Chain A
Amino acid sequence: MPQPQPAAGPPSDAALIAAWRGGDEQAAAELVRRHARALARFLAGAGASEADLDDLVQMAFIRAFRAVDRFRGQCRFRTWLLTIGGNVLKDHGRRAARHQVVPLDEELRARDGDPQERAEAGEAEARLSAGLERLPRLQREVFLLRAQQGFEYAEIAAALETTEGAARVHYHHAVKRLKEWLL
């Protein structure tokens, strides 16, 4: 009696990365489909305006694919990609000279999108966005990787090339400050 063939699941990120290294463009496209929304959420949380989001997502993917030889599986591809996204956002902020703290009211006006949707997003979320922008970059990124993306400290530490203990410290400093400002 023939054994049923196990259903072939979707290829892993590692398999897609290997295929991309071999020149398979569709593998790269599949990686974009998998991780683009998570990257967009991370960038939006880190302060990217919605008008810039599409460009920033593209730039982060392009930078990641061009540097993919440096990715050695020390963490998940998504975690690595998000840290690259953080660097892209930082460079973009430098270029645009928009790396400044803005009061909450101005922040709300400056953001794109439907005002009705903004109102629905709730004041607390808007205040958290403003609070995140006041955090030092590393604290903000560690907080987002942990709280928004749900990564473990070890994963975050590997992606940011720091220690797990340092990642914990950054996270707790971020939470402490955000609580002071928001809650």
Chain B
Amino acid sequence: MNEDNDATLHELAGGIGRRAAERLDVEATAQAVIEQLRQARRASRWSWMQPAWLQIAAAIVVLLGGALTVRTVSRGGGDTSEHDVAHFVTDDLSDLSTEQLAEVLSTLDQTLDAGGTMLPETGLEDLDAQQLRAVLRSLEG
């Protein structure tokens, strides 16, 4: 009796889903699966490539930044640059009047006093333009 019941259950179980399975378009399913696997593979490849691209981009940025820094340092660190600055200051001094030179020196006087640098004992107002320029040039070093 039990075996009969088991056989009945097996027979019924064998029939479940049979019609639905027969309606399944197996070839279309196979093609759909293959296409989705391809898409997943492409997506996976892209996600692997992204960090590589980021690393390459970061390396390029670092190289360019480094090259720019080296260029700036090599241009700005030489004697030529110091000479240019001194020349620029001298040109400016030539254009200044006696009053303006005295004003610049008095400003410098205050600044240098704060830093402990000594200026000549003589009052700035007693110096003529040429002497004032000489004092300023001596301050430039």
The closest CB in chain B to the CB of A23 belongs to B41
Given known contacts A28-B37, A183-B5, is B20 in contact with A50 (CB within 8 Å)?
A: yes
Contact residues of A between 161 and 183, Cβ < 8 Å to B: 175, 178-179, 182-183
Residues of A within 8 A of B25 (CB): 54
A29 contacts B24, CB within 8 Å? no
Residues of A within 8 A of B27 (CB): 33
B36 contacts partner chain A, Cβ-Cβ < 8 Å: yes
Shortest CB distance B19–A (Å): 6
Residues of A within 8 A of B21 (CB): 37-38, 40-41, 44
Chain A, interface residues (CB within 8 Å), range: 35 or more
Give Cα A102 to B14, complex, Å. Answer: 22
B16 contacts A45, CB within 8 Å? yes
Q: Which of A44, A61, A147, A183 contacts B20 (CB 8 A)?
A: A44
A160 contacts partner chain B, Cβ-Cβ < 8 Å: no
B95 contacts partner chain A, Cβ-Cβ < 8 Å: no
Give Cα A182 to B6, complex, Å. Answer: 12
B18 contacts partner chain A, Cβ-Cβ < 8 Å: yes
B16 contacts A37, CB within 8 Å? no
Q: Classify the secondary structure of A's interface with B.
A: helix
Q: Which of B22, B26, B33 contacts A62 (CB 8 A)?
A: B33
A66 contacts partner chain B, Cβ-Cβ < 8 Å: yes
A8 contacts partner chain B, Cβ-Cβ < 8 Å: no
Stretch of A72-80, A91-99, A122-130 with 4 or more beta carbons under 8 angstroms from chain B: A122-130
Given known contacts A50-B23, A54-B24, A178-B9, is B36 in contact with A41 (CB within 8 Å)?
A: no
Contact residues of B between 30 and 52, Cβ < 8 Å to A: 30-34, 36-38, 40
B24 contacts A125, CB within 8 Å? no
A147 contacts B19, CB within 8 Å? no
The closest CB in chain B to the CB of A29 belongs to B30
Residues of B within 8 A of A89 (CB): none
Residues of A within 8 A of B38 (CB): 25
B37 contacts A45, CB within 8 Å? no
Residues of B within 8 A of A117 (CB): 19
B17 contacts A44, CB within 8 Å? yes
Residues of A bordering B, CB below 8 Å: 25, 28-30, 32-33, 36-38, 40-45, 50, 53-54, 57-58, 61-62, 65-66, 113, 117, 121-122, 124-125, 128-129, 132, 143-144, 147-148, 175, 178-179, 182-183
Residues of B bordering A, CB below 8 Å: 5-6, 8-10, 12-27, 29-34, 36-38, 40
* Additional A-B contacts beyond A33-B30, A54-B25, A58-B36 (10; CB < 8 A): A25-B37, A29-B30, A40-B21, A41-B16, A62-B33, A117-B19, A124-B12, A128-B13, A132-B16, A183-B8
